[in-house]
């Protein structure tokens, strides 16, 4: 038994040491998730550069982070000096940029949280592979795309993995840590250790569609839409039913609006293309129409529900 305790201690020490080596974090994508990941990394003392292709998105992200850090500070310290110190300290760790290549020059870890599109993700990682130091770990926050398919755009498969956070990142405790066959043990330990340094509870999962949560959640959400498409209930009643009947904090329609209907569409389109005979991966005409009409949920002011003030 002592031998196994020794191994466990060694592995924990190894992951802690590897995670300690992760100080400089570059987050590419400053949308719903990238801004949340950058915020938590800054709050936990990492030097963070948050990058976006769109300068307006960077500005919006800074506002979102400011508001969110204020909620976290209030929750941790109430009002007063300690809250202000926490906010200032966190923000002092955060830089922004629109130059992805320059932003990875001294990165220990790059976390990608850009649009859920394999081609765009591969183009980005291929570009960064030549610019980042040899030791830099690359990770994707993808909801649904196989990590192996993204990683093949680079020459650092042993330093590549998945770090799947949950929305809103400052609140949701879970982090799914995914390895591909080539991910080295050191990289995997470093990613898990960093997740813990970020205050998250990590779970391990194979590189399968949707990892754990989304493999269960996305089919559930699309079944909810199909139930409404069949005229069996309204979105509001489905949400009420799942909150009061299953104890969910949000019903499926509220949650789809919260996470973004465009992301939902990207996910189901990808899975339908890969698994055309899988009934539960079939796209939804109702969701297609909403996205085509630019109704993406909270982030566009309207989705299944309207959020216009």
Q: Name the binder of 271 from ligand ZOZ, ligand NAI, none, CB < 5-8 A by kind.
A: none
Q: 169: closest CA among 285, 36, 75?
A: 36
* Binding site residue list: 29-34, 52, 68, 75, 116, 121, 143, 167, 299
Contact 121, 114 (CB under 8 A): yes
Q: Which residues of 194-221 are buried (b: 16+ CB within 10 A; e: fewer)?
A: bbebbebebbebebebbbbbbeebbbeb
In this chain, which stretch among 27-35, 41-49, 102-110, 222-230 interacts with ligand NAI, using CB under 6 A? Answer: 27-35
Whichever of 26 and 143 has its CB closer to ligand ZOZ, that residue is 143
**End-to-end Cα spacing for the chain:** 61
Cα R_g (the chain), whole angstroms = 20
DSSP-derived secondary structure letter, 31: S
Report the site for ligand ZOZ in 161-190 (rule: CB under 6 A): 166-168, 170-172
Residue 94 forms beta bridges with which residues? 48
What is each CA distance from 79 to 24, 76, 166, 235, 295, in whole angstroms?
A: 30, 9, 27, 38, 37
User: Considering the rule CB under 6 A, would residue 218 count as an interface residue with ligand NAI?
Assistant: no
Residue 192 phi/psi, 5° resolution? Answer: -65, -45
Q: Name the binder of 116 from ligand NAI, ligand ZOZ, none, CB < 5-8 A by kind.
A: ligand NAI
In this chain, which stretch among 4-12, 15-23, 30-38, 190-198 interacts with ligand NAI, using CB under 6 A? Answer: 30-38
* Binding site residue list for NAD(+): 29-34, 52, 116, 121, 143, 167, 299
In the chain, which residue ranges form alpha helices assigned H by DSSP?
2-20, 32-43, 55-77, 81-92, 100-103, 118-129, 147-151, 185-197, 213-229, 235-246, 252-259, 261-274, 285-292
Tell me how far, at minimum, the Cβ of 287 lies from ligand ZOZ, in Å.
Answer: 7
Tell me how far, at minimum, the Cβ of 11 lies from ligand NAI, in Å.
Answer: 27
In this chain, which stretch among 9-17, 102-110, 145-153, 259-267 interacts with ligand ZOZ, using CB under 6 A? Answer: 259-267
Tell me how far, at minimum, the Cβ of 14 lies from ligand NAI, in Å.
Answer: 28
Sole binder of ligand ZOZ in the list 43, 49, 68, 187 (CB under 6 A):
68
Catalytic residues: 143, 164, 176, 214
String marking each residue 45-64 x if it binds ligand NAI according to CB under 6 A: ------xxxx--x-------
Sole binder of ligand NAI in the list 108, 116, 207, 302 (CB under 6 A):
116
Q: Name the binder of 201 from ligand ZOZ, ligand NAI, none, CB < 5-8 A by kind.
A: none
Contact 28, 100 (CB under 8 A): yes
Pairing of strands 47-51, 94-97: parallel
Residue 164 phi/psi, 5° resolution? Answer: -100, 105
Whichever of 113 and 137 has its CB closer to ligand ZOZ, that residue is 113
User: Considering the rule CB under 6 A, would residue 71 count as an interface residue with ligand ZOZ?
Assistant: yes
Number of Cβ within a 10 Å radius of residue 8 = 10
Binding positions for ligand NAI, rule: CB under 6 A: 28-34, 51-54, 57, 100, 113-116, 120, 124, 141-143, 165, 167, 259-260, 263
């Amino acid at each position: 038994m002592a031998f196994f305790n020794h191994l466990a201690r060694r592995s924990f020490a190894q992951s802690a040491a590897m995670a300690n080596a992760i100080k400089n974090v570059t987050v590419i994508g400053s949308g719903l998730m990238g801004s949340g990941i950058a915020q938590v990394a800054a709050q936990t003392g990492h030097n963070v550069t948050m990058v976006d292709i769109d300068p307006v998105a960077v500005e919006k992200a800074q506002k979102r982070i400011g508001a969110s850090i204020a909620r976290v500070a209030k929750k941790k310290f109430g009002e007063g000096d300690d809250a202000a110190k926490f906010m200032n300290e966190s923000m002092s760790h955060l830089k922004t940029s629109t130059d992805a290549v320059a932003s990875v020059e001294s990165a220990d870890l790059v976390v990608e949280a850009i649009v859920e599109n394999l081609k765009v993700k591969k183009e980005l990682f291929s570009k960064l592979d030549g610019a980042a130091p040899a030791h830099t770990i690359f990770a994707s926050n993808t909801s649904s795309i196989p990590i192996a398919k993204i990683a093949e755009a680079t020459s650092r498969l042993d330093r590549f993995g998945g770090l799947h956070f949950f929305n809103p990142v400052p609140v949701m405790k879970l982090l799914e840590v995914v390895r591909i066959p080539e991910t080295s043990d050191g990289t995997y330990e470093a990613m898990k250790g960093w997740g813990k340094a970020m205050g998250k509870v990590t779970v391990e999962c194979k590189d399968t569609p949707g990892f754990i949560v989304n493999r269960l959640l996305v089919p559930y959400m699309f079944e909810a839409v199909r139930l409404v498409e069949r005229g069996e209930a309204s979105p509001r009643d489905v949400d009420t039913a799942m909150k009061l009947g299953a104890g969910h904090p949000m019903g499926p329609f509220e949650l789809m609006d919260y996470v973004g209907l465009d992301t939902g569409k990207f996910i189901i389109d990808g899975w339908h293309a890969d698994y055309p005979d899988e009934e539960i991966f079939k796209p939804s005409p109702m969701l297609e129409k909403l996205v085509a009409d630019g109704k993406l949920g909270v982030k566009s002011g309207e989705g299944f529900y309207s959020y216009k003030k």
